[in-house]
Amino acid sequence: MRAMTFVVTLTLAVLGGHPASALAQTADAWPQFRGNQSLTGVTVSSVPDDPALLWTFDTGDTVDSSAAIADGVVYVGTYAGDLIALDLGDGSLRWRYQASEYGIGESSPAVADGVVYIGDLFGVLHAVDADTGEARWTFATESEIKSSPVVVGNIVLIGSYDGYLYGLSVSTGAEIWRVETSSYVHATPAVVDGVAFFGGCDEQFRGVRIRDGEEIFSVSSGAYTAASPAIAGTMAFYGTFDNEVLALDLAEREVLWRYEHPTRHFPFYSSPAFHTGLVVLGGRDRMVHALDAATGEARWIFTARGRIDSSPAIVGGRVYIGSNDGRLYGLELADGAKAWEYELGSAITASVAVADGRLVVGAQDGLIYCFG
């Protein structure tokens, strides 16, 4: 009976049963890390079969931050400590905001209601006017921020290496609540039906009610978790540093299945994408794994030439993902066959953002690349 219930839940998710938060993204926007609040990494936009390089922009330093795109503007952070805004059409600089001399690492921007939010490696969350690049407010945590912000109504969520998940006022930055964990909060929370779901470096996977910050459950993952979860229906999918991918039933609050490659045992740092019953993510084993969401069995595996910390974006029938081998890959969602690749020549740890028919990604060489 539980297996049948799970199949029905996944079917609803695939056919349009996602909660409203997962559908907030449109073809012309990728407003936050993983594209939507369910962190599924899927867009309704389309790109050419053979994307061409349209422009690059030199940020001046390494880029681990994944881009957000809204209203024809690309927003991304850099290790130079800058949040930059670029024109999606031609890559020209709109503005540059100096966040911190300590740099911006993996924290990726979130854009909502004319404000861009991003965390820095000094532990400060910045709210910046999307049009002018002027600071609206800042909020200081007690350690570095690698998690990405998520905006839910009048609250912005942010995790910190000080061990807390914070809920802050979007208008003033004032702290509304904080939830304590026993280690770093590295992952970005996925949001469904007013609950924030995230795995922690304390090996716990939590659900936190957003309106008041109450922790409503905690389940052991059995391992350190840095990857962010993808939520489909009542299921959460995420990888761990114990070389496993987990499917967690949020209703039953138990692990439904665990996947581990039979011979190559490496951590999963990449956050998964979910689409049409497939869970797709990269591994430090140099592989892209596509797993059956109901059973956890591998449908296909693609092997790159370097480890994969980048998280996949699913566009139409393809998966776009970067690798430390310096290549951006376009793989067929159905069978993992390589349909396209572009050699940047520099490691790609950031994830692709997709909007208005364009792919945007930053690389370790400090360049932002746009394809379309």
DSSP secondary structure of 314-341: EETTEEEEE-TTSEEEEEETTT--EEEE
3-state DSSP call for residue 357? coil
Specify which residues 95 forms β-bridges with.
85
Specify which residues 207 forms β-bridges with.
197, 217
Q: What is the number of residues in the chain? A: 372
Tokens of 5: 């219930």
| Nearest-5° Cα angle at 113, 107 to 119 | 15
The CATH number assigned to the domain holding 259 equals 2.130.10.10
Q: DSSP character for 363?
A: -
3-state DSSP call for residue 4? helix
Cα distance between residue 355 and residue 372, in whole Å: 10
pTM, entire model: 0.94
Tokens of 6: 């799970």
The total of other beta-carbon atoms located within 10 Å of residue 11's CB is: 12
- For the chain, the maximum distance between any two Cα atoms, rounded to a whole number of angstroms, is 56
What are the angstrom distances between the C-alpha of 90 and each of 51, 57, 292?
15, 9, 39
Q: DSSP character for 30?
A: B
The total of other beta-carbon atoms located within 10 Å of residue 5's CB is: 14
Query: Residue holding tokens 């004032």?
Result: 174
Where does residue 43 rank: exposed (0-12), middle (13-18), buried (19+ CB within 10 A)? buried
Cα distance between residue 107 and residue 120, in whole Å: 7
Residue in 52, 75, 55 with CA at minimum distance from that of residue 65: 75
Q: How much is the pLDDT for 233?
A: 95
Q: How much is the pLDDT for 24?
A: 46
Tokens of 34: 């993983």
Query: Residue holding tokens 């400060």?
Result: 124
Q: Do 123 and 141 touch, CB atoms closer than 8 A? A: yes
DSSP secondary structure of 156-212: EEEE-TTSEEEEEETTT--EEEEEE-SS---SPPEEETTEEEEE-TTSEEEEEETTT
Cα distance between residue 269 and residue 243, in whole Å: 9
Tally of structural domains, the chain: 1
Q: Do 288 and 281 touch, CB atoms closer than 8 A? A: yes
Q: How much is the pLDDT for 26?
A: 86
Half-sphere exposure of 339 (CA within 13 A, CB side): 19
**Letter string b/e over residues 194-205, b meaning 16 or more CB atoms within 10 A of that residue's CB:** ebbbbbbbbbbb
**Average pLDDT per block of 10 residues along the chain, 372 residues long:** 39 36 69 98 96 98 98 98 98 97 97 98 98 98 98 98 98 98 98 97 97 97 96 97 97 97 95 97 98 98 98 97 98 98 98 98 98 98
Q: How much is the pLDDT for 30?
A: 98
Domain extent for 27 = 2-371
Q: How much is the pLDDT for 1?
A: 35
